[in-house]
Chains A and B, each alone.
Chain A
Amino acid sequence: MWLMALFTFREAWRKRVVLVAGGLTLAFLILFGTGLHFVLGDTVRGADLTASFWAMMEVITLSSMGIYLASFLVAGVAILAAVGSVSGEIENGTLYALAVRPLSRRDLFLGKFLGVGAMLIAYAALLFLALAGLIYWQTGLVLPGLGPALGLFILKPLVLLSITMLGTTRLTTLGNGVLAFGLYALAVVGGMMEQIGVLLGNTATVYTGVVTSLVLPADAVYRRLVATVVNRMPLGNGQDVPFLNPQMTLGPIGSGSTPSDWMLVYTLAYVVFLVAVAVYTFQRRDI
């Protein structure tokens, strides 16, 4: 299994997937940093953020936007890295020689999962820390709850990895790609509807979001991440300005309806369950 994991990791490295993803990520960070630099005026830069609600709100909004866009980037990389890891290898004939080796299908699959997973964890961690560094550089603010936030930022691509890896054991690469991106879009739209539902006080819309989070809890992990960061910011919990909760002002990218601890437990169980189903499916399919 470890041999296969190392092989998968090396494959991503040698195929320059890391280089391409790294280049695009660098471009994103430069773009975001430039935006951050020019959007944040002198009122924010060097100001006492704990004293100025509006300066703080600017930082909260731009940080949340950065995290939101970065999580999109990581989601895309997670799906693309895993979309053909089994189906693609069957389609192009590279799996035949591997699958007859004295290695159980379970180990073959888990090796691939761990290889892609390790790459995603490293990528997501670097991206999030670079983003946090950029925010610190431009605003002087250390993102609060950095540790748990980092964990949640890493968890999101792992959720997408598990559903994409399940799909690749059964579907064609194209079909799996359509399904994974489709489900992710559904989860994002559901998450946005949930936030808008909270703003409008519409319970049905909130429940719709909850249901899509149960189908694919990727967006729920992002909402929890935003809550983890924003609620710990100075003024971020709305205590100092009770009439205006920053989560509400963030609108669709905020976390007015924050997923509970049980939702996190569900998400972890979801990943484990999907990987188990994927192993079961792969073990029983013809190659």
Chain B
Amino acid sequence: MAIIEVRSLTKVYGREVACREICLSVEEGQIFGLLGRNGAGKTTLVKMLVGLIYPTAGEAEVAGYAPQDIRSRRQIGFLPENFRFHGWLKGRELVAFHGRLAGLDGRMARRRAHEALELVGLAGEGQKLVANYSKGMQQRLGLAAALVGDPRVVFLDEPTSALDPLGRRHVREILLTLKEAGKTVFLNSHLLSEVEQVCDRVAIINQGTVVAAGRLDELQAGPATVAIRLDGLTGELAKELRQLYPDLQREGDRLTVAPGGREEIADLVARLVAGGCRIYEVTPARNSLEDIFVYLVREGELACG
């Protein structure tokens, strides 16, 4: 069941298009990654989904309601990107206050605040003033505030940008824990490795438009290269192959091509053997998310001039 549904969502600022006809669907219980370079429109999209920004056109539903609807907001948690918290509050007070705003009574809010701080590794820091927290601690505090109301959907906008590697790993573990608990996580990030490690589905956004979306393994199963170590390749055969595979590269005994799929790899090997080649090694290279991202972003730039 889709818990986040986005249909032709568009946001225009004056003559600048921040998001253009974005369509997305996120199933409940998934970790969904939204990738894009800085300024691609990720934060604008998330802000529309949590009701901070009104779309120019199109519509969205989160947990069955429009993002501005209180019934939708009762079911979400949000960690913004460029946020700050009220420095005059103590960490525990702040998280408990967010619990109260999320609809918990005083006692429950304090209990949940303690649990949320424990989850993000700040249990011992709850009595400190937020103003004295480091940037990384503030980010973890933000995560605790987002989770204190036990939301069904959690929107995280660059949740690890201020964290060290250990902190990032900890956040990844929290995301997986949330997934195990059946929560949906909408992760907005430009850290590809992070997304690659935890996300079930991703969408890549470039210049306000979704340029690719799907399960991670589906995206990675796209055109990839195959490296073949061989002997006996004649110039005539190489020329023939280059017509079939324009991006063919030859370096010594190593041939690199980008066939369309698994069947084409088998055909290529058969053709090489038939042409008198001896094959020593066939190594298919799996597309990394980074390859896909760079390819799509560059393609987008070329298309837009």
The residues of A with any CB-CB pair to B shorter than 8 Å are 3, 7, 11, 14-15, 92-94, 96-104, 284, 286-287
Let me know if B53 and A94 touch, CB within 8 A: no
Q: How far is the CA of A93 from the CA of B85 in the complex (A)?
A: 8
| B97 contacts chain A at the CB level, 8 A cutoff | yes
Let me know if B53 and A287 touch, CB within 8 A: yes
Q: How far is the CA of A287 from the CA of B54 in the complex (A)?
A: 9
The residues of B with any CB-CB pair to A shorter than 8 Å are 47, 50-54, 70-71, 73-74, 76, 78-80, 82-86, 88-89, 97-98, 100-103, 142, 145-146
Q: How far is the CA of A102 from the CA of B148 in the complex (A)?
A: 13
Q: How far is the CA of A97 from the CA of B145 in the complex (A)?
A: 8
A100 cross-chain contacts in B, Cβ below 8 A: 50-52, 73, 76, 78
A7-B97, A101-B101, A102-B74 known; A14+B88 contact, CB < 8 A? yes
B98 cross-chain contacts in A, Cβ below 8 A: 97, 101
Q: How far is the CA of A97 from the CA of B83 in the complex (A)?
A: 8
A3-B100, A7-B97, A102-B101 known; A97+B88 contact, CB < 8 A? no
A284 cross-chain contacts in B, Cβ below 8 A: 54
B84 cross-chain contacts in A, Cβ below 8 A: 92-94
Q: How far is the CA of A287 from the CA of B83 in the complex (A)?
A: 12
A101 cross-chain contacts in B, Cβ below 8 A: 73, 98, 101-102
Residue of B54, B71, B79, B101 near A98 (CB, 8 A) is: B101
Q: How far is the CA of A206 from the CA of B65 in the complex (A)?
A: 56
A98 cross-chain contacts in B, Cβ below 8 A: 101
Let me know if A93 and B82 touch, CB within 8 A: yes
Let me know if A97 and B100 touch, CB within 8 A: no
Residue of B73, B80, B86, B103 near A96 (CB, 8 A) is: B80
A3-B101, A98-B101, A102-B74 known; A286+B54 contact, CB < 8 A? yes
Let me know if A286 and B88 touch, CB within 8 A: no
A11 cross-chain contacts in B, Cβ below 8 A: 86, 88
Let me know if B52 and A102 touch, CB within 8 A: no
9 further interface pairs, Cβ-Cβ under 8 Å (given A92-B84, A93-B83, A286-B47): A11-B88, A93-B82, A96-B52, A96-B78, A97-B145, A97-B146, A101-B101, A103-B70, A286-B53
Let me know if B101 and A103 touch, CB within 8 A: yes
A92 cross-chain contacts in B, Cβ below 8 A: 84
Let me know if B47 and A287 touch, CB within 8 A: yes
Let me know if B70 and A102 touch, CB within 8 A: yes
A3-B101, A7-B97, A102-B70 known; A97+B54 contact, CB < 8 A? no
B85 cross-chain contacts in A, Cβ below 8 A: 94, 97
Q: How far is the CA of A106 from the CA of B268 in the complex (A)?
A: 66
A94 cross-chain contacts in B, Cβ below 8 A: 83-86
Most buried by B among A3, A11, A15, A101: A101
B293 to chain A, nearest CB (A): 27
Q: How far is the CA of A27 from the CA of B52 in the complex (A)?
A: 44
Let me know if A102 and B100 touch, CB within 8 A: no
A102-B70, A102-B74, A102-B102 known; A93+B53 contact, CB < 8 A? no
Q: How far is the CA of A55 from the CA of B83 in the complex (A)?
A: 60
Let me know if B74 and A286 touch, CB within 8 A: no
B145 cross-chain contacts in A, Cβ below 8 A: 97
B47 to chain A, nearest CB (A): 7
Let me know if A286 and B82 touch, CB within 8 A: no
Let me know if A102 and B83 touch, CB within 8 A: no
B76 cross-chain contacts in A, Cβ below 8 A: 100
B89 cross-chain contacts in A, Cβ below 8 A: 14
A60 to chain B, nearest CB (A): 44
Residue of A nearest to B85 (CB): A94
Residue of B nearest to A16 (CB): B88
Let me know if B88 and A93 touch, CB within 8 A: no
A3-B100, A3-B101, A104-B70 known; A99+B86 contact, CB < 8 A? no
Q: How far is the CA of A284 from the CA of B53 in the complex (A)?
A: 9
B83 cross-chain contacts in A, Cβ below 8 A: 93-94, 96-97
Residue of B nearest to A12 (CB): B88
Q: How far is the CA of A99 from the CA of B83 in the complex (A)?
A: 12
A220 to chain B, nearest CB (A): 36
A100 to chain B, nearest CB (A): 5
Residue of B52, B71, B86 near A287 (CB, 8 A) is: B52
Q: How far is the CA of A102 from the CA of B146 in the complex (A)?
A: 12
Residue of A nearest to B100 (CB): A3
Residue of B nearest to A90 (CB): B52
Q: How far is the CA of A3 from the CA of B73 in the complex (A)?
A: 17
